[in-house]
Structure 1
Amino acid sequence: MILKCIIVLCIKTYYYKLKINVMKKTTLLIFLFIAGLLSAQTTSIPDPNFEQALINLGLDSGTVDGTVPTANINNLTSLNVSDMGISNLTGIGDFVALTNLDCSLNSLSTLNLSANTAIEILNLSENDLNTLDLSANTAITDLDLSDNNFSTLNLSANTAITTLNAEENNINTLDLSTNTAIEFLNLSDNELSTLDLSANTAIKALDLSYNDFSTLNLSTNTAIEELSIHNNLLSALNLSTNTAIIGLSLSENSLTSLDLSANTAIIDLNVNNNQLTSLNISGNTALTTLLAEENLLTSLDLSTNTAITDLYVNNNQLTALDLSTNTAITTLNAQQNQLTSLNISGNSVLTDLSVYDNQLTTLDLSTNTAIINLSVYENQLTALNLSANTAITTLNVDDNQLTSLDLSTNTAITELKVTHNLLTSLNISGNTTLTTLNLHHNQLTTLDLSTNTAITDLDVSTNQLTALDLSTNTAITSLSADKNLLTSLNISGNTVLTELNLEDNQFSTLDLSTNTAIEYLHLSENQLTALDLSTNTAIINLSVYENQLTALNLSANTALKSLDVNSNQLTTLDLSTNTAITDLDVSTNQLTTLDLSTNTAITDLDVSTNQLTALNLSANTAITDLDVSTNQLTTLDLSTNTAITDLYVNNNQLDALDLSNNTAIEYLYLSDNQLDAFDLSANTALIELYINDNELTTLDLRNGANQSLTAMDATNNPDLTCIFVDSKTYADTNFTNVDATANFMETDQECSLNYTQIPDANFEQALINLGHDSGPIDGKVYTADINVLTSLDVSNTSISDLTGIEDFVALTSLNCSNNSLTTLDLNTNTVLTSLTANDNQLTTLDIKKW
């Protein structure tokens, strides 16, 4: 029995152990299975650019397949996928641990962040978003939504925000009443006209520039240190409670006054471009930078502002400026005022001084030894002593009355401008660092540049130079020596020249064979009889008008875009290789033919005053401005030139011209041709029309836009009787440059009704009184209204001229007695049987055909 019990116990024990082992193994397998499932879970990433960004960050492996292991992302706290071309951020919901997300510079138009509740820093700038739900993202403290398409934002749930940037959107309304923690707020470049910030008392930096504010209440925002409201519509602003302001920008508004007496902490102040007539900054002693440009200031007291280093008061009406206490100034811009004098003897640390466009006659700079940049042009200076200003590198004294200028101590100068003065000589031998030298419009007869080897830009135009030695100036890239007396110039050593202007000199020849870099070449108004440009293949712009050229080979100059050879003696010109030309002027030459079939890029073409009898422009469809005046053209086909806006065809021999395809024409000159019937009804863009001195019989102006036609001349067309217009009433008032024989009409039927001229106003008034003319007096009557009359009585009406009676061909009875007639011709009135003409002053009476 005992043995049996022992055996049973052992069997039970074994059974339970076996059962437990099986259960453990099963549990382990289940655990391993679940773990496998978890480890195999993926997140869908449909945007390949988003997935590629994750691959680049090591969060996904292999090629783009539309998924990423969830385990790789769900514990991530920071993600930057900016500037990756992402348009779909689907999958971001599984990044549940994110606290910092940067998706800027992408193409997102929608975004769901409802699952990303841990986000604290969110950058969505420069996308295409116009709506966004952030109600679940209550942890956000820093939010950047700049440069999107939002018109409004709902941030009522985001009470933790301290920094909000929503600049460059289309926001026109915004409620920030719950966002009381905001310290930094940027809403610039939107469409806001109102904004309630009364609850946002923590704001330290506020930018509302480029909006539509005309008023703004900041009375509760006493913590503001940086305030920018420039480019708005403010005419007034109360800042009396904003005593913490350090930086203030109010430029580009309409402020007429500004009280800054409470804002004593201001360091930087910008009130440019307002309408201020005065500015009291006596209490703003901490000011270091003041910008008050383009206002209406007539005076400015800076006596207490001793900390100022940068002062900009240009474009005002200042007649005086006292800077005696402002010894810290380093930059002074006071140009474009009405200053007649300026004392800056105490401003010894000045480095930048600009006082151009004033009325200064003298300027003492003897103590201003630190000046580096000096601009005093457009004043009335007759002398300027710069001997103490040895630090100057940039000097502009243009448009004064200087007869001499000593620069011997100013050896640091790199840029010198002394144009429009009265200099007869200038010694710059010691100024070896010069790179830019501009001396145009003086009276220089000689100029020594032998030591100035660093010069790259040289302008000596409009002087009296007869010679110019540039042999040592091999660095010059731009040279202007036009309007001098030069007969020759050796520039063989100036091989880096790209711009050369020698217009209006006395050159008969010029060697440019070594100047292969030239792109802009201007040699007009010289005496050149030949010009070799075979090596100058880089030329883009060539002007050689008013020379004596009889031929010009441009076959090598394939880069040419602009060519002006007007007023030469050219009989032929081959432009077949110059396919890049857009602007071409070959006027006033002796051309009889011109082939432009390869020059399809031309937009501006002037071939006037030549001897052309034909011109094929079918390939030149880009032309907008065309002048073919004063040639011998008998026909001209412009059917393909539909871009033309300005057309000059005057002084030719055209008897017809079809402009029905040229609907863009605005300015049309057709005078002095042989045109007869002419139709402009399709030319709806017409602004000016000159069609005088032709052989017109009809002119159709019914384009539906006659009120846009501001100038019209159709005079000297003796056979022109019918001018069709949109409105006869409008034409009678506005189109006065027509012959007396011309009549304005609205319908073709009216044109079939010819007119009879009645030059005597009393005769016409008599016809009006008799109901044979509708009036008012205009010197004519419808022939159809009179040529059927059989009886006419115009006695006692003070008529002195019965011209027009010849068209009364049906008259059998005429009474013209008691008038002032001296002659009477009734030759055409062949059916007349009764004539009463007593009590006149007749000396001749012609009735011989009776």
Structure 2
Amino acid sequence: MKTKLLLMLLLANFSIYAQYTNIPDVNFEKQLISLGIDTGTPDGQVLTSSISSLSTLDVNNSSIADLTGIENFTALENLYARKNQLSIADFSSNVLLKYLDCSRNQLTSLNVSKNTKLIGLNIGFNTLTEIDLKSNVLLEGIDFQTNALTNVDLTKNTKLTNINALVNQLTDLELSANTLLSSLSVSSNKLTSLDINNNIELTYLNCGNNLLTGINVSKNINLIDFYCHNNQITNLEIKKNILLKGFMCNGNKLSSIDVSNNPELEMFDCLENQLTSLDISKNPKITELACEENQLTYLNLKNGNNLNLDLTYSNFSKNPNLTCIEVDDIAYSNANWTNIKDATATYASACTKLGLEDLLFDKIALYPNPTKDEVTITNIALEKATVYNALGQLVKSFTLNSNNINNTISLSGLPKGIYYVYLINQETASVKKVIME
């Protein structure tokens, strides 16, 4: 009788002290077992004493659909639950959390209103339409890219230094209170305006793929990378941004852009605009230049760094009015850059007015055209004439008498086809098309 009574007392004491936490998701429990937090085979529960003092938990990529039981992980400061199958998550009991990553799930609802100690939050690649962050006043970094958020109130999150809001449905974003921001990514939203006048610490800004008609970056003098591609911007001023290294303004409606005050510029993409003139002679560090699909009549690439231009991304073609491109070394450009320009454009050491309608060339007569041999050029004094084939390769060069307004050049020996005669008079030039029969 005494033995039975003693056994009952022991069991009672065990039931008092051996508290369990329900873990209904078998994949959650399997991960706890693999981490040595639980033991044996999944039975839908774990000793509360085994989880209540844990400060870090990593259940990434574990096919978890239900985090029930997480409420008893009361000491958690770091939780990694990315790449699972969560649709709802509530961390109200995990009040010590400092870093939470539940990105790449299927979240439609997330409650972090009680997590006032949060410093870092990653909820990217979910399907959230709203998120309340007003109580998370210690947040320094937040990533909510690729969701369906139309509005996010960040006015209380004054310690934020990093915001990643790529690929959402944001129509407005108030950032005047976020004066510590150094990195802002809001590309691929529906923003029609973006005020960053108070965000003077910004070094990285990506606002591409929106509906912006303009953006003022004059106060953002610390910018190193600035990407505003694929908007509807008609005017852009970057003279104050002298630290810029990466700059993409392609896919806008710019008719001009001045980069003469950006000596650190390395990557410059301005393709698909309405630019008529472009000069990078004051940008000696550029290694990438994409300016195709504009309306250029003048292009100056003479910056002393042409040898380092990356041909993978650089291109000057699809500028039908561009007949001359000013370069460091004509021979080098002809040998290496034939595929990144239009056939009608030639490389030269100086072409200040090339492609412009100038009175000097209005009365030029070039005949016969087509021709089988010689071509006569009249009504203009010329110093030089160079001939390029349809591939942009130099095939003939002539030094002419600048005191004579009538000159004849011989194209004999050239195969049948289209050629471009580049006519030079001091710093002015023009190109004429000639057909060899």
Give the alignment's TM-score, normalised by structure 1. 0.40
Q: How many Å separate the matches in 2 of 1:542 and 1:595? A: 19
CA distance in structure 1 between the partners assigned to 2:166 and 2:303 by the alignment:
36
Given residue 746 of structure 1, which amino acid in structure 2 is its aligned partner?
S
- 1:784 to partner: Cα distance: 10
| In structure 2, C-alpha distance between the alignment counterparts of 1:494 and 1:590, rounded to whole Å | 34
Q: Secondary structure at the match of 2:63?
A: coil
Alignment of 1:514-525 (within 5 A): 514-525=114-125
Match status 1:746 vs 2:349: yes
Q: Give the 5 Å matches for 1:728-743.
A: 728-736=330-338, 737-743=340-346
Q: Which residue of 1 aligns with 2:182?
A: 582
Deviation string, structure 1 residues 290-340 (Cα, Å, up to 9, x no partner): xxxxxxxxxxxxxxxxxxxxxxxxxxxxxxxxxxxxxxxxxxxxxxxxxxx
Listed as ranges, the gaps of 5+ residues in structure 1 are: 1-421, 435-443, 808-819, 822-850
2:31 touches 2:62 (CA, 8 Å); kept in 1? no
Alignment partner, residue 725 of structure 1: 327
Structure 1 530/794 Cα, relative in aligned 2: closer, same or farther at 3 Å? closer
Aligned to 2:142: 542
Provide closer, same or farther for how the CA distance between residues 445 and 703 of structure 1 changes in structure 2, counting only shifts above 3 A. farther
Q: Which residue number corresponds to residue 95 of structure 1?
A: none
* 1:458 equivalent in structure 2: 57
CA distance in 2: counterparts of 1:445 and 1:569, whole angstroms: 41
Compute the RMSD of aligned alpha carbons: 3.9
Q: Does 1:560 align with 2:163?
A: no
Residue identity in the other structure for 2:280:
L
Structure 1 position 631, deviation (Å): 0.4
Residue-by-residue CA offset, 1:366-424 (whole Å, 9 max, x unaligned)? xxxxxxxxxxxxxxxxxxxxxxxxxxxxxxxxxxxxxxxxxxxxxxxxxxxxxxxx999
The 3-state SS of whatever aligns with 2:214 is: coil
The whole-number CA distance in structure 1 between the counterparts of 2:85 and 2:183 is 29
Cα deviation, 1:195-242, whole Å, max 9, x if unaligned, reads: xxxxxxxxxxxxxxxxxxxxxxxxxxxxxxxxxxxxxxxxxxxxxxxx
What amino acid is aligned across from residue 722 of structure 1 in structure 2?
C
Alignment-derived partner of residue 33 in structure 2: 428
Distance 1:687 1:675 in 2: 20
CA deviation after TM superposition for structure 1 residue 463, in Å: 1.8
Q: Secondary structure at the match of 1:471?
A: helix
In 1, Cα distance between equivalents of 2:192 and 2:125 = 24
The correspondence for 1:654, drawn from 225, 235, 254, is: 254
Question: Who wins on radius of gyration, i.e. which is larger?
Answer: 1
The Cα of 1:707 is off from its aligned counterpart by 2.3
Query: Residues 697 and 427 (structure 1 numbering): CA distance in 2 closer, same or farther, change over 3 Å?
Result: closer
Which is further off, 663-672 or 736-745? 736-745
TM-score (norm. length: structure 2): 0.75
> Residue 57 of structure 2: SS of its match in structure 1?
strand
Q: 1:606 aligns with which of 191, 200, 206?
A: 206
Q: How does 1:217-232 map to 2 (within 5 A)?
A: none
Query: In the superposition, relative to structure 1, how do residues 722 and 423 fare at CA in structure 2: closer, same or farther (>3 Å)?
Result: same
Deviation at 1:774, TM superposition (A): 5.9
| One-letter amino acid of the counterpart of residue 497, structure 1 | L
Alignment partner of 1:716 is 2:318: yes
What corresponds to 2:21 in structure 1?
Answer: none
Structure 2 counterpart of 1:678, from 278, 285, 294: 278
Unmatched runs of 5 consecutive residues or more in structure 2: 1-26, 376-383, 424-435
The answer on whether the counterparts of 1:447 and 1:468 sit within 8 Å (CA) in structure 2 is no
Alpha-carbon shift at residue 680 of structure 1 (Å): 1.1
CA contact (8 A) 1:551 1:570 kept: yes
State the Cα deviation string for residues 241-264 of structure 1 (Å, max 9, x = none).
Answer: xxxxxxxxxxxxxxxxxxxxxxxx
Deviation at 1:490, TM superposition (A): 2.5
CA contact (8 A) 1:606 1:626 kept: yes
1:608–1:798 Cα change, 3 Å: closer
Deviation at 1:471, TM superposition (A): 1.8
Alpha carbons of structure 1 residues 692 and 446: separation in structure 2 relative to 1, 3 Å: farther
CA contact (8 A) 1:525 1:545 kept: yes
Q: How does 1:292-691 map to 2 (within 5 A)?
A: 425=30, 428=33, 449-451=46-48, 452-453=50-51, 454-469=53-68, 470-691=70-291
Contact in 1 for aligned 2:387/2:397 (Cα 8 Å): no
Distance change in 2, residues 1:794/1:516 (3 Å): closer
Q: In structure 1, how many angstroms separate the alpha carbons of the residues matched to 2:417 and 2:288?
A: 38
Counterpart CA distance in 1 for 2:409 and 2:284 is 46
Give the Å deviation of 1:709.
2.5
Q: Distance in 1 between matches of 2:420 and 2:261?
A: 42
Q: Which letter maps to 1:695?
A: Q
Instruction: Give 3-state SS (helix, strand or coil) of 2:333's partner.
Output: helix
Q: How many angstroms does 1:628 deviate by?
A: 0.2
2:145–2:166 contact (8 Å) kept in structure 1: yes
The residue identity in structure 2 corresponding to 1:553 is: D
2:16 is matched with which residue? none
Change (3 A) 1:448 1:688: farther
Write out per-residue CA displacement over residues 747-792 of structure 1, whole angstroms, 9 at most, x where no aligned residue. Answer: 247948989999x9x968x77xxxx966786378789979966888
Amino acid at match of 2:62: N
CA shift for structure 1 position 618: 0.8
Change in Cα spacing, 1:803 to 1:625, as seen in structure 2 (3 Å) is closer
- Cα distance, 1:804–1:701 mapped onto 2, change above 3 Å: closer
Distance 1:680 1:509 in 2: 50
Secondary structure, counterpart of 1:732 in structure 2 = helix
CA distance, structure 2, for counterparts of residue 571 and residue 651 of structure 1: 20
Distance (Å, rounded) in 1 between the aligned partners of 2:86 and 2:154: 25
Within a 5 Å distance, the mapping from 1:51-66 to structure 2 comes to none
Q: Is the 8 A contact 1:757 1:780 kept in 2?
A: no
* Structure 1 contact 449–473 (Cα < 8 Å) conserved: no
Q: Is the alpha carbon distance of 1:431 and 1:756 closer, same or farther for their aligned partners in structure 2, counting shifts above 3 Å? A: farther
Structure number with the higher strand fraction is: 2
Counterpart for residue 247 of structure 1: none
Contact 1:450 1:473 (C-alpha < 8 Å) held by counterparts: no
Q: Name the CA distance, whole Å, in 1 between partners of 2:242 and 2:321.
A: 31
Are the structure 2 counterparts of residues 780 and 449 from structure 1 closer, same or farther at C-alpha, using a change threshold of 3 Å? farther
Q: CA deviation at 1:802?
A: 7.4
1:579, distance to aligned residue in structure 2 (A): 0.5
Deviation at 1:472, TM superposition (A): 1.3
Q: Percent identity?
A: 31
The one-letter amino acid paired with 1:747 is: A
Q: Following TM superposition, by how much is the alpha carbon of 1:725 offset from its aligned partner in structure 2, in angstroms?
A: 1.3
Instruction: Tell me the amino acid that sits aligned with residue 740 of structure 1.
Output: A
Q: Which has the higher contact order (CA 8 A, sep 6+)?
A: 2
Contact 2:125 2:144 in 1 (8 A): yes
Q: CA deviation at 1:798?
A: 8.6
Q: 1:799, CA displacement in angstroms? A: 5.8
Counterparts of 2:414 and 2:345 in 1: how far apart (Å)? 27
Residue by residue over 1:587-642, the C-alpha shift from the partner in whole angstroms, topping out at 9 and shown as x without a partner, is 10000011101100000000000000010111100000000000000110111111
Paired with 1:689 and 1:763, the residues of 2 have a C-alpha distance of 39
